[in-house]
Structure 1
């Protein structure tokens, strides 16, 4: 139950909705404007009021001022249902993992952060039910007794011929492996965020206790690498979600003594990942090769770089189709013209007669534009994200079929 006091400190916005004029401390408004979390501008006619407009970042952040003022929480609700958002996320991370509605059990939550925390806790619990995974960890240290093998080069470089201590390396069978460290760090990260429901926080504390002997990853350090295998199969869903928590989508800044804590999904990136992974999966097992974020150059001097979201190559390793995913608010009359110019450049540089732009469903149906004097056709596809997963994946396959039929110059 939200108290009236808490309600005055909460700002509710909807992704890509019209701007809302709200009373805010100037320090909070400036912090939001500087962070890029939402578009924030002071109202020129009403002092102490700011115009806030959410873009494609959804989730929740809390802004705390250094002077002891009340924290202000900004919540941005996605246009797509939470369950559908998590399907897009889950499929992008693990298309073969069986992610479907109900897989991460988020239907009871209407906001992104509570749903994410709930999903991570449930998957970590499933991963750890049979106990913590153990593995061999290579350790290098200075010791007074020989254990494992002596690192001769290090012994000479560091000890100059001294017998002790000895520079040794050995493999230790331990729970302090990459998989457990990722889970521990994701749980710690969620426990630090405001807005996690009390019951979920209590369950996260239990998971942290199970991982108490595991070393958390220090913020700023690279995440340890792990490889999917039969041994860690029960961990894999939890690990994919842990990466979603830790891959930099969080908001934690301190501009000018202010503190911003929270978690945000960038729907632009999420939609792009879903579309490109879906297209790649559609061509798996064929003689075509898909490359995501494929680097190319527009000019002969290789001075103008470009990176299409998706390029399909034929058996002879030459480009045979190109696509770009565009999750954005389209203009009132249809899709943005700038996207057409960008795709025209891609087709010209890659030597293709057709290009494909894929949007989240808006106010325009599928369209095709033939470019004058160029012989190039640009297709614009619209995906309705608020569909059952099977139907949505079928739509992706239909786009893939159009890419497969792209004629060459």
Structure 2
């Protein structure tokens, strides 16, 4: 395979054969994005995607290879899962034009370009930034302690702090970081690339986030409302610029990748949590990390959702525990894990939500009572409106299981 050729895989599909150089095989193996097997033919290898989707460029020189891994669910459904958060509900259906896109990367790029075009239509957003400076005249307020420590008895220059009206604000930094990240992704359409370069020119005076640095933090407000859809997508793009190995290492990639089980867990925790609040009130805690298996806060439990309701004393306590499983069939270790959650949280019912398979319930006798481990199924290939409806139905089912 030459450097310009493209390995295209799809999540969940069986092995396929590709001509590769030994250097390309080494790069693919180090990336841990695919499983690799040799064949009986020299220079031909069998590849299978692991648990990530996206598009990346690996290696240099003779080891350089482009790799695309498409999701097994429709791309517009994946975009819906990726963008799910309470503050983003308004833009998902209106701004994302992904239904006709066969690959994830064009869908992300088209959606981001469209949202950024709207955000920058009236020009970049300005804001105030607190700036420390040394000036010959007073501007803003004097930093008296710095003035005395650095220039005791000297009247000028002055150590001052003032609010500067500038485009170099977190919202624009986040946009520019996502623009530059997309410009580095392989296989982007020339028209999209040209439009992204135009957006970058509009933000020429903005500081771009350093690669690997945390995304700039911003707060939604009336003033930056026109930026909200673009900023939500920008955060997703920067999140997809790295992934974590099982041993905890975080690796930056030249492209965008998303680990599907993490996408599913995030979606289910947020979407089902919102539905539970609508159905029964209380407080939903996605990715709750406030409970431990052992004393002295050892061995943190990691359920994908814990729902709290106030008791007779007014103090909130856990009443529902949920764990998302991005797989079709259940495994015994899933049951052991949920049983530990139920025992530790004092609950008689635990809920495992799979992306496929058959629903059911496993009844576990324990001293003095029975713990029920429920298996639910959520079909991610459903149209968005029906998927939202199924999440609401699941919330109703969980509420009915309450004592």
When the two structures are superposed, what TM-score results if normalisation uses the length of structure 2?
A: 0.89
Change (3 A) 1:32 1:139: same
Asked if residue 12 in structure 1 is aligned to residue 8 in structure 2, the reply is yes
Aligned to 2:131, the other structure's residue is in SS state strand
| Alignment equivalent of 1:103, drawn from 82, 95, 110 | 95
Map of 2:71 onto structure 1: 78
Give 3-state SS (helix, strand or coil) of 2:85's partner.
helix
1:118-165 C-alpha deviation (Å, 9 max, x unpaired): 111110001111222111111112223221111122223334554343
1: distance between equivalents of 2:169 and 2:361?
Answer: 51
Q: Structure 2: any 5+ residue segments left out of the alignment?
A: 246-251
Pick aligned residue for 2:364 from 361, 371, 390: 371
Matches within 5 A, 1:8-407: 9-40=5-36, 42-43=37-38, 45-65=40-60, 68-69=61-62, 71-92=64-85, 94-100=87-93, 103-250=95-242, 261-284=254-277, 286-295=280-289, 296-315=291-310, 316-328=315-327, 330=328, 334-360=329-355, 362=356, 364-373=357-366, 375-407=370-402
Counterpart CA distance in 1 for 2:88 and 2:196 is 26
Q: Measured at CA, do residues 195 and 279 of structure 1 come closer, stay the same or move farther in structure 2, by a change above 3 Å?
A: same
Query: Would the aligned equivalents of 2:364 and 2:372 in 1 still touch at CA under 8 Å?
Result: yes
Contact 2:283 2:309 in 1 (8 A): yes
In 2, are the aligned partners of 1:309 and 1:325 still within 8 Å (CA)?
yes
Q: Equivalents in 2 of 1:347, 1:183: separation in Å? A: 43
> Which range moved further: 193-202 or 370-379?
370-379
Q: CA deviation at 1:90?
A: 2.2
Structure 2: how far apart are the matches of 1:173 and 1:132? 12
SS of aligned partner of 1:215:
coil
What's the offset of the Cα at 1:115?
1.5
Distance 1:73 1:322, change over 3 A: same
Structure 2 Cα separation of the partners of residues 401 and 274 of structure 1 = 18
What SS does structure 2 have at the residue aligned with 1:207?
helix
Cα 1:260–1:14 shift into 2, 3 Å: same
Closer/same/farther in 2, CA of residues 283 and 158 from structure 1, 3 Å limit:
farther
Question: Does the C-alpha gap of structure 1 residues 252 and 395 become closer, same or farther in structure 2, counting only changes over 3 Å?
Answer: closer
Change (3 A) 1:127 1:157: same
Check whether the contact 2:83–2:236 (CA below 8 A) recurs between aligned residues.
no
**CA distance in 1 between partners of 2:253 and 2:222 (Å):** 40
- Is 1:251–1:262's contact at 8 Å kept on the other side of the alignment? no
Report the 3-state secondary structure (helix = DSSP H, G, I; strand = E; otherwise coil) of the residue aligned with 1:376: strand
Does the CA-based 8 Å contact 2:285-2:305 persist in structure 1?
Answer: yes
Shift of 1:5: 6.7
- Give the SS at the match of 1:381: strand
2:249 alignment counterpart: none
**Superposition CA RMSD, Å:** 2.4
Equivalent pairs counted in the alignment come to: 389
Whole-Å separation in 1 of the counterparts to 2:272 and 2:334: 19
Q: 1:127 to 1:353 in 2, by over 3 A?
A: same
For residue 383 of structure 1, report the CA deviation from its aligned partner: 1.0
Secondary structure in 2 matching 1:108: coil
TM-score (ref. length: structure 1)? 0.88
Residues 350 and 239 of structure 1: CA distance in aligned 2, closer, same or farther (over 3 Å)? same
Deviates more, 1:44-53 or 1:221-230: 44-53
Distance 1:282 1:252 in 2: 30
- Listed as ranges, the gaps of 5+ residues in structure 1 are 254-258
Distance 1:26 1:92, change over 3 A: farther
Secondary structure of 1:69 counterpart: helix
